[in-house]
Copies of this chain bind each other. A is one copy, B any other.
Amino acid sequence: MKKTGNNQFLKQYNETMILDLVRINKIISRAELSNITGLSATATGMTITSLIEKGYIHETGIGESKGGRRPMMLELKSEAYYSLGFDIDVDCINMTLIDSTGKIISNDEFKYNETISFENAVEIIENMIEKAILQFSIKTERLLGMGFAVPGMVSSSTQQVVLAPNLGWHNVNFAAQLKKFKDVPSFVENEAMASAICENWIGSCQGYNDFICINIKSGIGAGIFTGGRLYRGASGSAGEVGHISVDENGPKCGCGSYGCLETMSSTNAILSNAKKLVRQGLPSKLNEYENLEDIGIDEIVKAARLGDKVSLDILMESAGYLGIAISNIVNTLNPSKIVLGKEFVKYGDLVLEHIKDIVRSKALKMPASNVEIVISDIGEQVSTLGAAIKPLKALFGK
């Protein structure tokens, strides 16, 4: 019995290893897999047969010969296994359906105006899942899992949302509540950490060990990778860079402190700044909006792009404080890359050079010259995708 158990474990181990090698290499032959893993041709062949039978990989075309017969190549099979990712924010739930190759199959969104209870969210999510699997005829056994990104602290051991202050959630558990899909594995992740996972898996931080993703939207948070792994901190709250103090005399923050980065550089801060200036009657394109409520980040960015100085100044000022916080982060953590994402992608091109100038002048030369600061290529969907990648990481043993 013990031997069988060990063989089962070994078989699973080999399958995961080879599956991940197919993913990383995108296209690879049996001989190359045997070479890399050190497994015999027979063991490699058996493992591959099992993976093909289960539908994870398939044969695709013929590769180049290295002397003998031209080998049959292998790659991940697309649209065979799926994963669902959800990003739950204060005003909407975003969903994405991807397959095991990381290809996006479908996106969905549910908006709301008032704070949503956990019970309501569960109902909405169950409906979104049902709609997606019906539309794409996905059997639940082909659903690798569901990931949930939330703006709060999660427990990586219990997969619970420990605290999401802006949602008003405290110790809630998706796995226990999504009763219609209780057999589908579920994963929960902080939204900034989910973004970092996404950038590392399919974004601009593939192959990077020490990088930081900073999400700028109504709040500001970061996902930190150290030594190739997501760093959660001692109790799971690492990355709260929105509460780095950037101006001792700045406005009071929701956290009780003063002049936190969030109070100066979040989109909420940008909006309230813009509205204040409009109220003061400063000459600006923003005065064209009769109702202050019609001014959102899109309107400010649009005005700035049309040459409106007030709007551009607002964005620049917010970026300046971001530059101060990033300088602190660069000095403390010496990352090789910092990716700025979420709503920042809407105006990042206008202010990125300003941020880089500040980091060059304020951070130490050595870490400042070793860090790339870039705008996320992925955009606002990054945490939704990161949530969907969580079940993929489990599949590929990562």
Residue ranges of A at the interface with B (Cβ–Cβ < 8 Å) = 153, 163, 209-210, 222, 224, 226-227, 229, 231-241, 243-248, 255-257, 324, 327-329, 331-336, 361-367, 370-371
Choose one: B209, B237, B245, B365; the contact of A327 (CB below 8 Å): B245
- Please measure, in the bound complex, the distance between the C-alpha atom of A174 and the C-alpha atom of B237, giving whole angstroms: 41
Asked if B240 and A367 sit within 8 Å, CB to CB, the answer is yes
Choose one: B209, B240, B363; the contact of A332 (CB below 8 Å): B240
Asked if A334 and B248 sit within 8 Å, CB to CB, the answer is no
A246: chain B residues within 8 A (beta carbon): 245, 248
How many copies the complex holds: the figure is: 2
Nearest-neighbour CB distance to chain B for A379, whole angstroms, equals 24
Asked if A364 and B243 sit within 8 Å, CB to CB, the answer is yes
Asked if B243 and A334 sit within 8 Å, CB to CB, the answer is no
Asked if A233 and B163 sit within 8 Å, CB to CB, the answer is no
A229: chain B residues within 8 A (beta carbon): 227
User: From DSSP, what is the main secondary structure of chain A's interface residues?
Assistant: loop
Asked if A210 and B227 sit within 8 Å, CB to CB, the answer is no
Nearest-neighbour CB distance to chain B for A304, whole angstroms, equals 25
Given A226-B226, A361-B256, do A333 and B366 touch, yes or no (CB 8 Å)? no
Asked if B239 and A366 sit within 8 Å, CB to CB, the answer is no
A226: chain B residues within 8 A (beta carbon): 226-227, 231
- Please measure, in the bound complex, the distance between the C-alpha atom of A248 and the C-alpha atom of B236, giving whole angstroms: 30
Asked if B240 and A331 sit within 8 Å, CB to CB, the answer is yes
A234: chain B residues within 8 A (beta carbon): 209-210, 334-336, 367, 370-371
Nearest-neighbour CB distance to chain B for A171, whole angstroms, equals 13
Asked if A235 and B361 sit within 8 Å, CB to CB, the answer is no
- Please measure, in the bound complex, the distance between the C-alpha atom of A169 and the C-alpha atom of B349, giving whole angstroms: 40
Given A234-B209, A367-B240, do A328 and B327 touch, yes or no (CB 8 Å)? no
Asked if B334 and A332 sit within 8 Å, CB to CB, the answer is no
Asked if B332 and A238 sit within 8 Å, CB to CB, the answer is yes
* Residue of B whose beta carbon sits closest to that of A225: B226
* Residue of B whose beta carbon sits closest to that of A327: B245
Nearest-neighbour CB distance to chain B for A342, whole angstroms, equals 18
A236: chain B residues within 8 A (beta carbon): 334
* Residue of B whose beta carbon sits closest to that of A230: B227
A336: chain B residues within 8 A (beta carbon): 234-235
Asked if A235 and B332 sit within 8 Å, CB to CB, the answer is no
A237: chain B residues within 8 A (beta carbon): 334, 364, 366-367, 370
A327: chain B residues within 8 A (beta carbon): 245, 257
- Please measure, in the bound complex, the distance between the C-alpha atom of A326 and the C-alpha atom of B329, giving whole angstroms: 13
- Please measure, in the bound complex, the distance between the C-alpha atom of A329 and the C-alpha atom of B240, giving whole angstroms: 10
* Residue of B whose beta carbon sits closest to that of A209: B234
A and B contact pairs by CB, cutoff 8 A, 29 listed:
A153-B366, A226-B227, A227-B227, A227-B229, A227-B231, A233-B333, A233-B334, A233-B335, A234-B370, A234-B371, A235-B334, A235-B336, A236-B334, A237-B366, A237-B367, A238-B332, A238-B334, A239-B332, A241-B331, A243-B363, A243-B364, A245-B246, A245-B324, A245-B327, A245-B362, A248-B248, A255-B365, A256-B361, A257-B363
Nearest-neighbour CB distance to chain B for A195, whole angstroms, equals 16
- Please measure, in the bound complex, the distance between the C-alpha atom of A237 and the C-alpha atom of B328, giving whole angstroms: 13
Asked if A247 and B244 sit within 8 Å, CB to CB, the answer is no
- Please measure, in the bound complex, the distance between the C-alpha atom of A273 and the C-alpha atom of B347, giving whole angstroms: 43
- Please measure, in the bound complex, the distance between the C-alpha atom of A236 and the C-alpha atom of B369, giving whole angstroms: 13
A231: chain B residues within 8 A (beta carbon): 226-227, 333
- Please measure, in the bound complex, the distance between the C-alpha atom of A240 and the C-alpha atom of B335, giving whole angstroms: 12
